[in-house]
Amino acid sequence: METILKEGLAQLGLDTGSIPALTEFSRRLLEKNQVMNLTAITEPADVARLHLLDCACLLTVADFRGKQVVDVGTGAGFPGMPLRLLEPDFDLTLLDSLGKRIDFLQETVDAMGLQRVRCVHARAEEFARQHREQYDIAASRAVAQLNVLCELALPLVKVGGQFLAMKSVDTDDEIQRARSAIAQLGGKIGKIWDYAIPGTDVRYRVVILRKERPTPAAYPRPFARIKKAPLG
């Protein structure tokens, strides 16, 4: 794992000094995964490439330093935890609706002595109504369709901030369907960036959205309504 991370981070132009922390996080993830479902990826080499290096790619498209960042639907801590281990100079909120995942992340944060990390058990739409436009960056990795995801994440982002949505490369139609929702929520697509995970032929995509106007107070709606009638 260490060699894979060293080569991959060097390819991305990122510091390799966080490799021990990334390795420790991976060890804790795989250990906990034996008793609860955190990830379907269970080989250490695959965790290094398909989780850690994949998330690290976000550091090449946005400057996280000094920012307030929220990871919406973090799951087992992706992309937030690898980003935080690689770049310590930002404040991170890890948000998930499943309490067991947040318990694992809080235990890990405490055990690793990480500062400026907040683990929150809450539904994204409820959290967004209470923390409107408080974050410089929201990030999310393969959580939901983009029009649904934007209603959960964009209300959290300050005007002038960014929402980074990590997606598969075959999402052209999904992005097109989300354009109206993005505009209604005060956002605009700034860039669509396709990339390959270092050391692999696996390609993914980041949809980079800019927050241009405040999100109307009516959003986000209760999740049942979001799911039944997605914006579009």
> What is the pLDDT, as a whole number, of residue 185?
98
Does residue 5 sit within a domain?
Answer: no
Does residue 36 sit within a domain?
Answer: no
Q: How confident is the model at residue 140 (pLDDT cuts 50, 70, 90)?
A: very high
Whether pTM > 0.85 for this model: the answer is: yes
Percentage of the residues of the chain whose pLDDT score is greater than 90:
98
Does residue 25 sit within a domain?
Answer: no
Does residue 222 sit within a domain?
Answer: yes
Does residue 54 sit within a domain?
Answer: no
96, 219, 83, 4 alpha-carbon torsion, rounded to 10°: 80
Q: Compute the distance between CA of residue 74 and CA of residue 97 in angstroms, rounded to an integer.
A: 9
Q: At 160, which CATH number?
A: 3.40.50.150
Q: Is 9 in a helix, a strand, or coil?
A: helix
Residue 124: C-alpha distances to residues 35, 61, 67, 107 (Å): 26, 24, 20, 21
Q: Compute the distance between CA of residue 170 and CA of residue 177 in angstroms, rounded to an integer.
A: 13
Residue 143 has pLDDT above 80, yes or no: no
- Measured from the Cβ of residue 148, the count of other Cβ atoms closer than 10 Å reads 19
Does residue 27 sit within a domain?
Answer: no
Does residue 87 sit within a domain?
Answer: yes
Give the single-character DSSP code of 169: S
pLDDT tens string 91-123 = 999 999 999 999 999 999 999 999 999 999 999
Does residue 15 sit within a domain?
Answer: no
The residue range of the domain holding 84 is 61-228
> What is the pLDDT, as a whole number, of residue 154?
98
- For the chain, the domain total comes to 1
Alpha-helical regions (H) of 87-189: 99-112, 124-130, 146-153, 172-184
Residue 142 has pLDDT above 80, yes or no: no
